[in-house]
Chain A
Amino acid sequence: MEPILNEQQSLMRETAVRLCKDYGGPKRARALRNAGTEMDVPAWMELVRSGWLCAAVSEDAGGMGMGILDVSLALEEAGKQLLMVPFAEVAAVAHVLGKIGARAENQLRAVQQGLQILMPALPQEGWGNVGSALPIARFEGGQWFLDGRIRHVPFAQSAQSYLVAARIGDEIMLCAVLRHLVKLDTVANVDGSTSSELVMDGSLVEESQVMVRGAQAQELLETLRDLLAITTGAALVGVSAAALEMTLEYIKYRQQFGKALGSFQALQHRVADCFVNLELNRSLVYRVAASYDAGQMHAAMAAAVKARTSRVALSLTRDALQLHGAIGYTDEHDIGLYYKRAIALAALYGNDINQTARFSALTL
């Protein structure tokens, strides 16, 4: 069902549809993958120009004063068009920087103006439920030094710096770590995106790059995790929607036994179930994002978004492949691009299992 939007939101959505069509699509995604390009730079520049990276930053802090719902609507379009950019991450980071205030002002301005890509670098494994230790920060001679490893950071080669949560004894701090002070070990993912291990062996962090410490840092880290779950979930809804649309087109046109595949009831029922699952997820993303914007979100709701959008994106794109038959198994056909993007995004920031466990811990 269509979201309920005001005039400004409708306008932004229309612009997002256009921008993502112009700077995305399967053909472009395929070319980037084949060339081994980590990030689509022209698409990123366009996003910087649009101002949407800071859509969910208050006007006082220099943003557009809209919300996570608006960012999510744009991300749904970005997902549909397979855009290869860290939009979900940087929009979430920008929102958090906006909440920090003065100590994050310079970082935020650099993000907004496109002078830097500040990627969140958080331990992925178990998504905070198990293991995944934060890097350790030590203070020596008026400066901080970080030791530790963070695995599976996307877009790490394209970033200028990383937003890192580091441990100082019992408390944590959020700081920006410069890329050239970190060793990267990068591998490719199934969809052409990348996954890097950040190795910090005494990586220097100046005091001015420490943005927040203590209880507030812990709270903002939780917020960042929640937002990454929602924004990535919105992109997964877009990926699923495009895969379903492509599949419907295919079964309407493809003939077997002298009639369209789409006329067979077994197939109709299968896509009807896909549609139901997808419709629920769209509403889930809109409602949870709107609840966050209204200051009424329970953290479990963000976990639910990522768990269910991941689950459905994987099952729906898998069904989409099946309904395409043999052509779906070829590299040549675009449906495989959606399948693989779903796999990559579902795996990030807590997969279905991690986020379901997180939901459980938050609701028991």
Chain B
Amino acid sequence: MNWDNTTLFSDDNPADAAFRREVRQWVDKNCPENLRDRPSRVTPPEMKPWHKKLFERGWIAPHWPREAGGMGATLEQQLILFEEIARIGAPTPFPHGLNFFGPILIHAGTPEQKARHCPGILSGDVTWCQGYSEAGAGSDLASLKTRAVLEGDHFIVDGHKMWTTNGTHADWMFALVRTDAEAKPRHAGISLILIDLKSPGVTVKPIKTIRGDAEFAEEFFDNVRVPKENLIGPLNGGWKLATMLLGGERFATGHPRNAAILLNRARQVARVTGADADPAFRQQLAALEIDLLAFTAYYRHGAALHGLGKVPESMTPVMKLAAGPLAQLASEFLVQVAGPAGASLADMEVDGEAVNPAEDLFEMRRVTVGGGANEIQRNILAKRALDLPS
């Protein structure tokens, strides 16, 4: 039996198996060649044609309900789409609109808000970014200071957001802002509003990342007028919306695919460099593959429990603590396997494909920081799952 680390433990029922075949064929035929197995990050403009194809096929938002324009797919179908896109090295559409904001909008938005914003998220015509972090509010997000003061029909927004992925390309931002400076606890004075980044008073500056690209940006808000109807949910009710886990989107962010792809890339590179004949390489690869198998087992177990509505509170932090470090180890392994080329800015040519181990290494550094650093996840586990005292 061949070992395929991208579909471990996927026990599809006959209908799902047929769906998997259909997706596999379609993805292979329709994904633009220049986006497959890309060593460098795909930018929002490059992503658009692929996003559009998935949208036209009706597969762009498998986890959204049908009435909102999604597929209303089961979690199994969502995972199949995810896996089959990953299998050929195609990029997953950006999650900010589809996975982060979309579910909140569907859950808490007014009919007008949904009608206005859902179509753009689905078609990919509108690029969204998430405005949560600030210079002084990282892990301690509730200390955020960007202010929104209601004056008549508008909020007047002043402040500064940072570490915004796709910030320079984004049209809109869903942002957490302080609407009550006196509130105690602090998170009770935070609201979620939508900011059109073309509004007067908004200045966007790129931030060069460790990879050397401008994935991040910072935004300055100076007297920016945001219409009152851009408030999502209740005034001062933003924290709950931003931190609630809606449905199965956590399965998209925690998927074992990152590590699987990197380990397969390491195998490919090892065949070219000859490292695959080295027993030390094999033993290390096997150890990582074993960790990947264990994590995949946990992941599938969680997905099955999700279907039964029995997911324990510990699952999200455990997935994050397992997936991130594993992907990082895999990227570090890839750099080792590449030898001197692991330090190069230039791409390696492997089986006619471009591979850049250092790019992968840098890309993976983000996964244990974004969305609540792993140290925060450990705190959460200690308090909520292990019942340890403060």
- A residues whose Cβ falls under 8 Å from a Cβ of B: 1-2, 4, 248, 251-252, 259-260, 262-263, 265, 268-269, 271-273, 275-276, 279-281, 283-284, 286-288, 291, 294, 296, 298, 300-301, 303-304, 307-308, 353, 356-357, 359-360, 362-364
Closest-by-CB residue of A relative to B276 is: A364
Q: Which residues of A contact B210 (CB under 8 A)?
A: none
Q: Is the CB of B297 within 8 A of A4?
A: no
The residue in A265, A268, A363 that gathers the most chain B C-beta atoms within 10 A of its C-beta is: A363
Complex-state Cα separation, A269 to B381, whole angstroms: 9
Residue of B with least CB distance to A244: B386
Q: Mark B365-388, 1 if CB is under 8 A from A, else 0.
A: 000000000010111011001111
Contact of A363 among B286, B312, B317, B321 (CB under 8 A): B286
Cα(A317)–Cα(B292), bound, Å: 22
Which residue of chain A lies nearest to B326 when distances are taken between CB atoms in the complex?
A280
Q: Which residues of B contact A (CB under 8 A)?
A: 1, 3, 9, 11, 276, 282-283, 285-287, 289-291, 293-295, 297-298, 300-302, 304-305, 308, 310-312, 314-315, 317-318, 321-322, 375, 377-379, 381-382, 385-390
Interface of chain A: mostly helix, strand, loop or mixed: helix
A262 and B386 CA atoms in complex are apart in Å by 10
Are A276 and B381 also in contact (CB < 8 A) when A283-B297, A287-B9, A298-B1 are? yes
Contact between A360 and B282, CB atoms less than 8 A apart: yes
Considering the chains assembled together, what is the distance between the CA atoms of A272 and B385 in angstroms?
9
Cβ-defined contact, B11 with A294, below 8 A:
yes
The answer on a CB contact under 8 Å between B382 and A268 is yes
Do residues B283 and A262 form an inter-chain contact, with CB atoms below 8 A? no
> Does A308 contact B389, Cβ atoms closer than 8 Å?
no
Given the known A-B contacts A291-B9, A298-B3, A301-B293, are A273 and B378 also in contact in the complex, defined by CB atoms under 8 Å? yes
Tell me the minimal C-beta distance from A150 to chain B in angstroms. 26
Q: Quick one: which of A262, A272, A275, A359 contacts B389, CB cutoff 8 A?
A: A262
Q: Mostly helix, strand, loop or mixed at chain B's interface?
A: helix
Q: Are B314 and A268 in contact (CB under 8 A)?
A: no
Do B388 and A284 touch (CB < 8 A)? no
Our pick among A272, A296, A298 for the contact of B321 (Cβ within 8 Å) is A272
State whether B3 touches A362 (Cβ < 8 A): yes
In the assembled complex, which residues on chain A have CB atoms less than 8 Å from the CB atom of B317?
A: 272
Contacts of B300 in A (CB 8 A): 283, 287
Cβ-defined contact, B378 with A363, below 8 A: no
Can you report 7 residue pairs joining A to B where beta carbons are below 8 Å apart? A248-B386, A280-B291, A291-B9, A304-B294, A353-B283, A356-B283, A356-B290
Contact call A279/B289, Cβ cutoff below 8 A: no
> Are B378 and A283 in contact, CB atoms less than 8 angstroms apart?
no
Question: Quick check: B388 and A262 within 8 Å, CB to CB?
Answer: yes
In the bound assembly, the distance between CA atoms of A357 and B287 in angstroms comes to 9
A212 to nearest B CB, angstroms? 23
| Nearest neighbor of B320 in chain A, beta-carbon distance | A276
Contacts of A304 in B (CB 8 A): 289-290, 293-294
Q: Are B379 and A268 in contact (CB under 8 A)?
A: yes
Contact status B290-A307, CB under 8 Å:
yes
Give CA–CA (A356, B305) in the complex, Å: 29
B11, B295, B310: the one within 8 Å of A280 (CB): B295
Nearest A residue to B282 via CB reads A360
A279-B298, A294-B11 are known contacts. Are A271 and B388 too (CB-CB below 8 A)? yes
**Cross-chain contact A275 with B385 (CB below 8 angstroms):** yes
Across-interface contacts of B322 in A (CB, < 8 A): 276, 280
Q: How far is the CA of A294 from the CA of B13 in the complex (A)?
A: 13
Q: Bound state CA distance, A291 and B1, in angstroms? A: 14
Q: Chain B contacts of A276 at CB under 8 A?
A: 318, 321-322, 381
Let me know if B287 and A283 touch, CB within 8 A: no
**6 A-B pairs with the lowest CB-CB distances in the bound complex, closest first:** A268-B382, A360-B286, A287-B297, A363-B3, A272-B378, A283-B298
CA distance in complex: A261, B63 (Å): 43
